[in-house]
């Protein structure tokens, strides 16, 4: 079993930045995928960014490409989502997920971008 704890969400003005953290514990494996998803009010959950723990190869959604980056810290067993040039459209609950097929999920952290 894997436990995920997200942090770093909050309220920020448009154009600002936030960094989300996801700390993983439990029976993690280097082969796991780790990623970020988000769900805005009235919308379905969508993929934001992912990273393969073993190689560091990343994938990023077109909607945030050029503004968001995903990275990981092996020593801390933590994944980060650096969010720059934030827009009101980025307002959502952001979720961390991991596993061979994203079968483990965190509780989510709220990101609100004001205009």
Per-residue pLDDT of the chain (115 residues; tens, 9 = 90+): 899 999 999 999 999 999 999 999 998 888 889 999 999 999 999 999 999 988 999 999 999 999 999 999 988 999 999 999 999 999 999 999 999 889 999 999 999 999 9
What is the per-residue pLDDT for 28? 84
Look up residue 90 and give its two tokens: 């980025």
What is the per-residue pLDDT for 48? 98
**Separation between Cα atoms, residue 75 and residue 49, nearest integer Å:** 21
What is the per-residue pLDDT for 31? 85
CA dihedral 76, 25, 8, 113 (to 10 degrees): 130
End-to-end CA distance of the chain: 40
């Amino acid at each position: 079993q894997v436990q995920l704890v997200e942090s770093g969400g909050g309220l920020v003005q448009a154009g600002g930045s936030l960094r989300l953290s996801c700390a993983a514990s439990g029976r993690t494996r280097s082969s796991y995928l780790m990623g970020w998803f988000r769900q805005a009010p009235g919308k379905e959950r969508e993929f934001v960014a992912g990273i393969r723990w073993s190689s560091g190869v990343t994938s990023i959604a077109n909607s945030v490409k050029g503004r968001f980056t995903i990275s990981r810290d092996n020593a801390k067993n933590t994944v980060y989502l650096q969010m720059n040039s934030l827009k009101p459209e980025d307002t959502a609950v952001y979720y961390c997920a991991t596993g061979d097929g994203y079968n483990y999920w965190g509780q989510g952290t709220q990101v609100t971008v004001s205009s």
